[in-house]
């Protein structure tokens, strides 16, 4: 290992993307290969865990070989292996974890188990070389909605979380209900451009005893009730208006909670992360709200918002620098909590 450079091979397989990347010193992405299973799961209207695991097994060696090749590296020239070990689908996670352990054992390389959400947060480091903790981060993905105070590298305080559905899950469920199919987020965003976000007044749910917590299942039910009532009354359902009005409610709640936390904790920097963070309307609303407060706003490119291994290489680097190492007994932890090891 050279003194200045830590080259990490990162692996991600927690859900429906098989991904590998080579990342140098946490922020310099030399390769980022993603094999998406979305087309496969679209047939079933959502991710089928068993199919996801099988597909990961099929793809993982190819994806790693491609990532090494794109970066001009081999297993003999990298310094450490980072792998997502939770949270996620257990069978899917196990594929990445087993692969990472095999490489670490065969090549005698340090192994670092990475938390998937820490990866999403760390995606912000890649294109924003000036971003350093402390900052506030809103993680909005298919499985998680967390408002996190990043106090230092690898040091997190969760200020708020969803009490029921994750933001991305709400997008996916509403998309299915209005006939857009899977994956819901990008489809809702697309049709929303043709809709009126104020056409239907859906609730903007607040959680009484948690100022930074979220609840999206009531909003989803309100959309379902609206659709039922239109059908019963024989009224026309304007798909684009339903999508735009739903998206508007989600965004209002996300912005309100984030801005409240920024004020309360006096944060000067705010970042968003996770699949839903690739939504341009959400980004625009967050950017404007931050501009009004004089807070610097960060977000990853869309390809680094949804699941990828570059973000795992970024988070893994800071874990590595903090001396975190895992043994060959590393296991997948499907419900791993943020900040837990
Ligand atoms: O981070 P991610 O790739 O996987 C998880 O860790 O969950 O996030 C996937 C989620 C899905 O629910 C998807 O519908 C949502 O992110 N998503 C979006 C957009 N792109 C992906 N939601 C809203 N607008 C988008 N443009
Ligand atoms: Zn994710």
- What is the percent of the chain with per-residue pLDDT over 90, rounded to a whole number? 93
When pLDDT is averaged across residues 135-152 and rounded to a whole number, the result is: 96
Angle (nearest 5°) at CA 318 between 63 and 20: 5
When pLDDT is averaged across residues 70-88 and rounded to a whole number, the result is: 98
Q: Please give the pLDDT value at position 26.
A: 98
In the three-class reduction of DSSP (H, G, I as helix; E, B as strand; rest coil), residue 175 is classed as helix
Q: Please give the pLDDT value at position 46.
A: 83
In the structure, ligand 2 is a single-atom ion and the residues with CB under 5 Å from it are: 141, 307
Q: Please give the pLDDT value at position 42.
A: 85
Its pTM stands at 0.95
Instruction: Tell me: pLDDT of 41 over 80.
Output: yes
Q: Please give the pLDDT value at position 296.
A: 98
Mean pLDDT of the chain: 96
Q: Please give the pLDDT value at position 2.
A: 46
Which residues, including other chains, have CB under 8 Å from residue 317's CB and lie 6 or more apart? 6, 8, 23, 25, 26, 27, 82
Write the pLDDT tens digit of every residue in 279-313: 999 999 999 999 999 999 999 999 999 999 999 99
Q: DSSP code of 312? A: H
Residue 300 near ligand 1, beta carbon < 6 Å: no
When pLDDT is averaged across residues 133-138 and rounded to a whole number, the result is: 98
Residue 51's H or E segment, with its range, is helix 49-71
Q: What are phi and psi of 196, to 5 degrees?
A: -100, 115
> Is residue 43 very low, low, confident or very high in pLDDT (cuts 50, 70, 90)?
confident
CA distance 316 to 9: 9
Closest to 307 in 3D by CA, of 21, 9, 15, 10: 15
Q: Please give the pLDDT value at position 3.
A: 58
Instruction: Tell me: pLDDT of 205 over 90.
Output: no
For 159-183, give the secondary structure using H, E and C.
EEEECCCCHHHHHHHHHHHCCCCCC
Residue 185 near ligand 1, beta carbon < 6 Å: yes
Q: Ligand 1 atom closest to Cα of 169?
A: 12
Q: Please give the pLDDT value at position 314.
A: 98
Q: Taking a C-beta distance cutoff of 8 angstroms, is the pair 123, 304 a contact?
A: yes
Which residue's CA is the nearest one to ligand 1's atom 1?
275
For a substitution probing ligand 1, which of 165, 168, 335 has the most ligand atoms within 8 Å of its CB?
168
Instruction: Tell me: pLDDT of 150 over 70.
Output: yes
């Amino acid at each position: 290992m050279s003194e200045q450079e830590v080259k990490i091979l990162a692996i991600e397989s927690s859900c429906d993307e098989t991904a590998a990347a080579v990342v140098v010193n946490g922020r310099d992405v030399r390769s980022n290969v993603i094999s998406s299973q979305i087309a496969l799961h679209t047939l079933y209207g959502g991710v089928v865990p068993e199919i996801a695991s099988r597909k990961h097994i099929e793809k993982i060696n190819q994806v790693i070989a491609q990532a090494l090749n794109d970066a001009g590296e081999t297993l003999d020239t990298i310094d450490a292996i980072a792998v997502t070990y939770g949270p996620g689908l257990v069978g899917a996670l196990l594929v990445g974890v087993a692969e990472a352990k095999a490489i670490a054992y065969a090549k005698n390389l340090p192994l670092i188990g990475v938390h998937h959400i820490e990866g999403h947060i760390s995606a912000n480091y890649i294109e924003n070389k000036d971003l350093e903790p402390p900052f506030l981060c809103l993680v909005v993905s298919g499985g998680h909605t967390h408002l996190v105070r990043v106090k230092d590298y690898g040091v997190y305080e969760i200020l708020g979380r969803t009490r029921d559905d994750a933001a991305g899950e709400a997008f996916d469920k509403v998309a299915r209900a209005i006939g857009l199919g899977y994956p819901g987020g990008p489809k809702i965003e697309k049709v929303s451009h043709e809709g009126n976000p104020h056409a239907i007044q859906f609730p903007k749910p607040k959680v009484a005893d948690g100022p930074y917590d979220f609840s999206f299942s009531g909003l989803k039910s309100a959309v379902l009730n609206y659709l039922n009532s239109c059908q019963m009354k024989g009224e026309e359902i304007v798909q684009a208006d339903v999508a735009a009005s739903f998206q508007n409610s989600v965004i209002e709640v996300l912005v309100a909670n984030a801005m409240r936390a920024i004020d309360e904790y006096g944060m000067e920097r705010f970042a968003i992360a996770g699949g839903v963070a690739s939504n341009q309307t959400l980004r625009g609303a967050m950017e404007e709200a931050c501009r009004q407060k004089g807070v610097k706003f960060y977000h990853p490119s869309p390809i680094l918002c949804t699941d990828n291994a570059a973000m795992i290489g970024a988070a893994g680097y800071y874990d590595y620098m903090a001396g975190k190492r895992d043994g060959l007994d590393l296991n997948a932890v499907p419900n791993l909590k943020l900040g837990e090891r």
